Amino acid sequence: MRYLALPLLSQNLTESTARAQTLSLYLQLSLQVSLSQRNESTMSSSSSSLPSCPKKVVTLKSSEGETFEIEEIAALQSKTLENMIDENCADTPIPLPNIKGKILAKVVEYCNKHAEVGVDAESLRAWDAEFVNVENTTVFDYILAANFLEIPTLLDLTCQSVADMIKGKTPAEIEKTFNIKSAFTPEEEEQVRRENQWAFE
Amino acid sequence: MTDSPKTKLHGGGGSGFGSIGEDVLESILRRLPAATFASAACVSRSWHRVCRRILSRPKLASALSLNPCAQNALQEVVDKVLSEPICPHFAIVNVGNNVNMTDALQYIGRKLGAGTPIVISADSGIIGVDALINQVKEVEGGIDVGSYNSEDSDNAEQGIVLTVGFVPGLKVDVVPLLHLVEVNEDTLMVDKFITDITEYSVAMSGCSTPVGVIMFGDGVAEIKSAAEKLDYAMPLETAIVGDEKGNFEYRSADNSRYVPAIGLQDYTASAIALVFAKDRHKCPGLGDIKFHVALSDGLSTIGPRHRAASVKVDDCCTLLTARREGQEEILDGEGILNDIRDELENRVEYPDVYIGVTKRRVYKVGAEKAKSMSFLSFHGVMGGVEYLRVEGSGIESGDNFQFYYSDPAAALASCHKVSARMRSLNPGSDSDCSDKVGNIVASVGKSWVFGGFIFSSFGRGESFFNDFNVDSSPFVENFPGVPVAGIFCGGEIGRCSPSLCVQDSEEGTSVRRVCHVYSTVYLLMSYTQAPPGAAVTS
């Protein structure tokens, strides 16, 4: 849960600014109420709906043993984590022996960003583009993590990024980029080429 | 799920991509444009397997562009159609009259590879899914086959529609109807045309009847007789549709097959048939593609029946005198027209008038036994005082005929009937079958429509119905989101599939109709899954 950002009340404020700040306060308050209502339905343990309660976090443990905290709201983007939270397995650190710390940190960052309220679509898109503007091997690791944690938006983003990487490449170039050995026999190779002949002319 | 290796999750590292499972690989590869997808299929056994899974079912991709610059429009439609995985087995391009067909054919030919049969036709209008806004549009424009209106051609919306089909299980090629230009006479080699089609079918599928034939005629020669012979020669399971009168060019997958190498004579193609034959080497486990044809009629009868008395051919027209049915007196042109004039004058709009002539002729293809058949064909009425002057030829003395006029109300009612019939082809509940490649629950005989083609009369469209997109509505209503393309043309070829027939044949089933006017012919392509018992190779 977010802590309220209490607006500074100063004698010198104009009436309209005071109104705006009151409105902002009101909005954040109603947001807190709705968030806490949501939490109440997903958590069996009681939690007051007052803004002053501590935010519920989930702890994730990377393959090297490093721990990362992620707010429950953000964690809900992962179907895997959501299931665990629903079944009350999320109170102790969740081990993820398949995901390195470096990657897990970024995945947490992604989920946090996408759980933020009030970010406009344009800037989120730009943020996403920057997020995948990294080395190929890192993107692959993101894919594996997103697949395991079942984060559809991240999987979508990273798969599209890899698809963009492949666009326009010949088979040889693809093999080189992804370090893949083609295990075709010469006959298989010929047949496969013939099937797809149209694109090579 | 499938047997694909589950996602191997060892700790990242340099060869990270190698550990990506086939299901994730599928999420990546299905986003590729067609050309890259083809490359991807050649990378490794695993990638090939995934690609085969992604592109396992028939697919039609079609796009329309109204970009005023023809070159840009061409690029737009090609880019759109090839933006997803597809392997082109055939292509149909429909353009307005501002496009240089030879250049367009070359451009598309380069993009689709030398082995893809391509037909390009210029007509009176196009129907397609706009590449930019993803909506079906009917665009009439270009030059009316019937009349030249200089106003129209200035702001006529030209446009291009490209349709590319992936039809595993079928083989496709273009068979030309050759026109032998000799000194004394022009011969349409119709018999050779029919035989070529049959032989192609035999070579591909082992049986002489193709699944479907799409014809394009040049309107100069009498294509009607070729279409009628085709109708006679092919059993009802073979779908026949087409455009009688347009300009076309084509490229066969195998040009040497049909044009005789003998002689120095000039061969040109007066018509072409895009022939779809079953592939005898089809993978087991792959379902069947079927073609269905529906017809919306746009004419209503008027006046008494007549019987042609004297018949004279004058250039491309025929001059007639006739008797009213059951009467002796021979009427001249004026007399014949008087029979319908009064009734016509009561109509608000001046309709187009035709005569529908029932021709009983002897048909024979090759060495077969000759058979007598009756066909109904339409000839536009041009007027006449001394004689009734109608378009076209092929009418003989003694032929019965009746007057028909273009009737928007009847056409609209017919469209609704067609739509109701198409509903029966609609599986109903699940229209999202195409996405769930690995997860679909295969029920026996599950089938769906994956594409459509519309041949509509240039006389129909917005001005005829006073409404938008009426002709495409039966298809769009029943199969929303399914790729569809079409043209407005000067004569529609088509014969209904039994499943989609809405005609109440007043003349009984003995009179056949394959060439129409003021109608809309719908071609639906459907795919029926193989029963679950069949082996699936993947």
B47 and B121 part of one domain: no
Cα B90 off chain centre by? 13
B40 vs A182: CB contact, 8 Å cut-off?
A: no
CA distances, B72 to each of B79, B102, B159, B162 (Å): 10, 16, 11, 13
Q: A192 in contact with B at a CB cutoff of 8 Å?
A: yes
Give the closest-approach CA distance of B483 to chain A in angstroms. 22
pLDDT tens digits for A29-47?
Answer: 655 655 655 555 555 444 4
Q: B427 in contact with A at a CB cutoff of 8 Å?
A: no
Give the closest-approach CA distance of A30 to chain B in angstroms. 39
Indicate which CATH number applies to the domain containing B152.
3.30.1330
Q: Tell me, what's the pLDDT at B433?
A: 45
State the pairing for strand pair B447-457/B520-528: antiparallel
B388 and B303 part of one domain: yes
Query: Reduced to 3 states, what is the DSSP secondary structure of residue A61?
Result: strand
Whole-complex ipTM = 0.75
CB B16 within 8 A of CB A141: yes
Report the sign of the C-alpha dihedral through residues B405, B407, B413, B418, in that order. Answer: positive
Mutation site for B-interface testing, chosen from A107, A140, A164, A181 by largest number of B Cβ within 10 Å: A140
**pLDDT for residue B294 is more than 90:** yes
Give the closest-approach CA distance of B47 to chain A in angstroms. 9
Q: A80 in contact with B at a CB cutoff of 8 Å?
A: no
Average pLDDT of the residues in B275-284: 91
Q: Tell me, what's the pLDDT at B41?
A: 93
B32 vs A167: CB contact, 8 Å cut-off?
A: yes
B88 contacts in A (CB within 8 Å)? 198
Query: Reduced to 3 states, what is the DSSP secondary structure of residue B36?
Result: helix
**pLDDT for residue B223 is more than 60:** yes
- Give domain status of residue B415, yes or no: no
- Max distance between CA atoms of chain B, in angstroms, equals 99
B50 and B114 part of one domain: no
Six-digit token string for B183: 């000194």
Give the closest-approach CA distance of B101 to chain A in angstroms. 21
**pLDDT for residue B414 is more than 70:** yes
pLDDT tens digits for B384-394?
Answer: 888 889 988 88
Listed residue (B366, B356, B371, B386) closest to B519, CA to CA: B356
Q: How many residues does chain A have?
A: 201
Six-digit token string for B235: 């059993």
Q: How many residues does chain B have?
A: 538
pLDDT tens digits for B148-192?
Answer: 344 444 445 578 999 999 999 999 999 988 877 665 566 678 888
Six-digit token string for B120: 């390009």
**pLDDT for residue B473 is more than 50:** yes
Rounded (10°) CA dihedral A101, A106, A111, A113: 150
- Give domain status of residue B205, yes or no: no
Q: Tell me, what's the pLDDT at B5?
A: 43
Mutation site for B-interface testing, chosen from A103, A164, A178 by largest number of B Cβ within 10 Å: A178
Of the residues B103, B137, B166, which one is the last residue of a structural domain? B166
B26 and B124 part of one domain: no
CA distance B93 to B88: 13
B7 vs A141: CB contact, 8 Å cut-off?
A: no
Six-digit token string for B518: 């003021």
B97 and B34 part of one domain: no
Six-digit token string for B387: 């004689």
Q: B4 in contact with A at a CB cutoff of 8 Å?
A: no
Q: Tell me, what's the pLDDT at B352?
A: 86
Q: Between B261 and B8, where is the model more confident?
A: B261
Residue carrying structure tokens 């079942």:
A150
Cα B308 off chain centre by? 33
- Give domain status of residue B538, yes or no: no
**Residue B504: pLDDT band by 50, 70, 90 thresholds?**
low
pLDDT tens digits for B196-207?
Answer: 999 999 999 998
pLDDT tens digits for B64-112?
Answer: 998 888 889 999 999 999 999 999 999 999 998 778 889 999 999 999 9
Share of chain B above pLDDT 90, in %: 41
Of the residues B151, B166, B181, which one is the last residue of a structural domain? B166
Q: Give chain A's mean pLDDT.
A: 79
B308: containing domain = 299-406
**pLDDT for residue B247 is more than 70:** yes
- Give domain status of residue B122, yes or no: yes
Q: What is the DSSP code string of B376-413? A: EEEEEEEE-SSSEEEES----TT-EEEEEEE-HHHHHH
- Give domain status of residue B245, yes or no: no
Q: What is the DSSP code string of B464-478? A: HHTSSSTTTHHHHHH
Give the closest-approach CA distance of A104 to chain B in angstroms. 12
B364 and B400 part of one domain: yes
B28 and B79 part of one domain: no
Choose among A100, A174, A195: nearest Cβ to B40: A174
CB B25 within 8 A of CB B47: yes
Q: Tell me, what's the pLDDT at B510?
A: 75
Q: What is the DSSP code string of A114-168? A: HH-SS--HHHHHHHHHHHT-S-HHHHHHHHHHHHHHT-HHHHHHHHHHHHHHHTT
pTM exceeds 0.95 for this model:
no
**pLDDT for residue B238 is more than 90:** yes
B13 vs A137: CB contact, 8 Å cut-off?
A: yes
- Give domain status of residue B161, yes or no: yes
Q: Report the domain count for chain B.
A: 3
**Bridge partners of residue A186, in order along the sequence:** none
Q: B19 in contact with A at a CB cutoff of 8 Å?
A: yes
Q: Tell me, what's the pLDDT at A15?
A: 56
CB B212 within 8 A of CB B200: no
Distance between start and end Cα atoms, chain B: 13
B80 and B99 part of one domain: yes
**Bridge partners of residue B167, in order along the sequence:** none
B304 and B397 part of one domain: yes
Six-digit token string for A73: 């709201």
Six-digit token string for A165: 């990487």
Amino acid at B501: C
- Give domain status of residue B213, yes or no: no
Query: Reduced to 3 states, what is the DSSP secondary structure of residue B61?
Result: strand
Give the closest-approach CA distance of B492 to chain A in angstroms. 32
Query: Reduced to 3 states, what is the DSSP secondary structure of residue B538?
Result: coil
Cα B93 off chain centre by? 12
Q: Tell me, what's the pLDDT at B314?
A: 84
CA-nearest residue of chain A to B113? A198
Q: Tell me, what's the pLDDT at B256?
A: 63
CB pairs under 8 A between A and B: 122
Q: Tell me, what's the pLDDT at B146?
A: 33
State the pairing for strand pair B299-314/B317-324: antiparallel
B318 and B384 part of one domain: yes
**Residue B348: pLDDT band by 50, 70, 90 thresholds?**
low
**pLDDT for residue A48 is more than 80:** no
Rounded (10°) CA dihedral B45, B46, B52, B55: -140
Residue B482 is classified by DSSP as: S
CB B140 within 8 A of CB B124: yes
Of the residues B117, B146, B166, which one is the last residue of a structural domain? B166
**pLDDT for residue B520 is more than 50:** yes
Mutation site for B-interface testing, chosen from A144, A195, A197, A201 by largest number of B Cβ within 10 Å: A144
- Give domain status of residue B85, yes or no: yes
**Bridge partners of residue B127, in order along the sequence:** B138, B486
Q: Between B265 and B520, where is the model more confident?
A: B520
Amino acid at A104: L
B39 contacts in A (CB within 8 Å)? 166, 169-171, 174, 196, 199
B65 and B161 part of one domain: yes
